[in-house]
Structure 1
Amino acid sequence: MKFFNTIPGDGEVAILLYGDVGDGQKVDSGRVVSELMALQAQYDKIDVRINSNGGDVFSGIAIYNALRTSKADITIYVDGVAASIAGIIALCGKPLYMSPYAKLMLHAVSGGTWGNASALRQTASMMETLQGDLARMIAHRCGMEAKDVTARYFDEKDHWISAEEAVSMKLADGLYDMGEKPETEPKTAGEVYQYFNNRLQTQPQNQNKDMALLEELKKMPTFKDVNSEAELLMKAQQLENQATKAEALEKANKAYKEKAEAAEAAEVEAIVNKAVSDGKIGKEQVATFKALMKSDRANTESLLKGMKAQKPQMRAAAYIDEHPTGSSFADKSWDELDRCGLLAVLKNSDPGLFAAKYKERFGVDYNN
């Protein structure tokens, strides 16, 4: 068995889950799942190698489900540490082997939120639900009852399990031979994690990479500092994240702009309508003042504020003063009298003419 066999060829390939689990982290669920789906169509056998302190539970569950339901020939190797959600991923149901120094760590779900009491209770309830799901995942692997897993491992303490203990508990299927032993054997979880991270940096990753493609990409300013496939993948993820963020911001800005425009239109409508109700302008002037508000709102508002408000009766009286003869009513249509606020005046001063105007407008007789 070759350690860190990450060289595609002869029907085999390895996926490294090294680092924290979560969106945008080294173990990004979107990248891992998409890689798995692509690789299982190309290779007969897939090795998954883990050295992770854990991270986001939801991202880890996505990776767990993808590995568990994959039809590919998958073997899991815990090279260093598989802690928290990374430990759950390791127990996905595929054959699991651990290095002699490897460690599993299981503990209760932890998290936090901010808000009122209801929001806090909802978060606590969600954490308990997740914890129940994780307990069933572990129980499925080692043949325990979920309630026993909860009592044993989810007591709000960290439970570190050595490779030998994991094998005896049937959590792991065996140990694998690392070949050369380190000069100083790592003992603590931190030492184990760092040892395998350092070892990864000194191992040949893929001697058959398409270096020509990498060199072509390095000619572009964006990729000039990229020196490996891993760095290329990280840069591509950064660019994709930036593009997604830009798209989201553009949509948010558009939504905010539309909301602001709607609010401004509603304010203009209210201001102009109030000017009409106050008798400052007539209904026939509404469109004009709306256009003025749009082109120069500040000065138009100032103009409206400076106008003297009139009650409908005052406007009617002013009209009668200017048009003292009754013939002036006869010359006006129903709608013109309405715009001038004179319908009530006409009805009171000349009921017959009012009834005639009514019939002319609506085509039926006016009945008191």
Structure 2
Amino acid sequence: MKIDREKGFFNVIKTSERKASIDMYGEIVDEKFDDVETSAVSFKQALKDLGDVEEIDININSPGGSVFSGIAIYNQIKNHPAKVTAHIQGLAASIATCIAMGADKVVMPANAMMMIHNAWTLAMGNSNDLRKQADDLDKINQTVFQSYLDKNPEIDHALLQQYMDEETWLTASECKELGLIDEIGNASKVAAKISPEMEAKFKNMPNKFKHYNIDDPEPKEPEPKENPDNEVINDKLDDIFKLLKDVADEVIKDDKDEDGDEGKDPKTPSEPQNKKFNRFLF
């Protein structure tokens, strides 16, 4: 399906009387300000506008965002009467993975990834405030944890918690083994769009998902810088040392000449001598 870039990355298309497609290609937010973002309110309105469709394809390529908006979208998907298929086309990270878990079927290409981790926040206040904030985060983590369990009740609880604690990036085959997806699809050319601000929140992000020009067909690995040839460096150092030696020899010669001049203090440098040294003050 062609993405309407002029409209943005949250697109809702009714492809037939019984089928629809929703693209979620940006961050999950509490309040939607442009078409790149998805909020629980905008998603609810999208479902309402679609009417009584029987099938919905949700194309996900998102770095995540607001936990509570994501949980609200998850519940909307879970409770919708249509058969919902989530297609992870590039990256489903953080709360975007939970949104995918609400679908009846999750398809993930072999070159896409999921990232799961514990929720985080910014906090300020006294010690009691911060302890409460930590307790609240633990409870929020449990709601996210439960969404994975709803998808696969047989998942290893300890392993899942370890993955969340460590911020784990999962391949399609690893997600299939964990029971978080139902099918590994064909490789997708869609690449993740992650803002520098969102990128800074992740610790273990693979290079291929780091920030780049969204118009590039695929994320590009940074090209290694070429190291200059050692011989070239040595030649330049030889030139510098030769220049220094020539200047030093010239200064010594000037000193000897000045020693023979009457009325001049041999310890006092002449004006030309000062100018020669000033060339190397930096």
TM-score (norm: length of structure 2)? 0.60
Q: 1:37 to 1:149 in 2, by over 3 A?
A: farther
Q: What does residue range 263-278 of structure 1 map to in structure 2 within 5 Å?
A: none
Does residue 175 (structure 1) correspond to residue 184 (structure 2)? The answer is yes
1:312-351: CA deviations, max 9, x gaps? xxxxxxxxxxxxxxxxxxxxxxxxxxxxxxxxxxxxxxxx
Secondary structure of 1:128's counterpart equals helix
Larger radius of gyration: 1
Q: What does residue range 100-119 of structure 1 map to in structure 2 within 5 Å?
A: 100-119=110-129
Matches of 1:101 and 1:43, distance apart in 2: 30
Q: Which amino acid aligns with 1:165?
A: E
Does residue 166 (structure 1) correspond to residue 175 (structure 2)? The answer is yes
Given the alignment, which residue of 28, 33, 36 partners 2:39?
28
1:91-138: CA deviations, max 9, x gaps? 124200012211010011111211122221221111000111111211
1:120-170: CA deviations, max 9, x gaps? 122111100011111121122122468425532232x21011112212222
Structure with the larger RCO, 1 or 2 (CA within 8 Å, 6+ apart): 2
Residue of structure 2 equivalent to 1:9: 15
Q: What does residue range 1-368 of structure 1 map to in structure 2 within 5 Å?
A: 7-10=13-16, 11-25=18-32, 26-39=37-50, 41-144=51-154, 147-148=157-158, 151-155=161-165, 157-177=166-186, 189=206, 191=208, 198=215
Matches of 1:196 and 1:177, distance apart in 2: 24
Q: Which amino acid aligns with 1:88?
A: C
Bigger helix fraction: 1
Q: 1:136 to 1:196 in 2, by over 3 A?
A: farther
Bigger strand fraction: 2
Deviation at 1:16, TM superposition (A): 1.2
What is the number of residues matched between the two proteins? Answer: 191
Q: Which amino acid aligns with 1:124?
A: A
Identity across the alignment (%): 27
Q: 1:110 to 1:191 in 2, by over 3 A?
A: same
Extract unaligned runs of 5+ from structure 1. Answer: 183-187, 201-368
1:81·1:189 contact (CA, 8 Å) conserved in 2?
no
Extract unaligned runs of 5+ from structure 2. Answer: 4-10, 191-204, 218-282
1:102·1:192 contact (CA, 8 Å) conserved in 2?
no
Deviation at 1:33, TM superposition (A): 1.9
Q: 1:17 to 1:195 in 2, by over 3 A?
A: farther
- Say what the alpha-carbon RMSD is for the aligned residues: 2.9
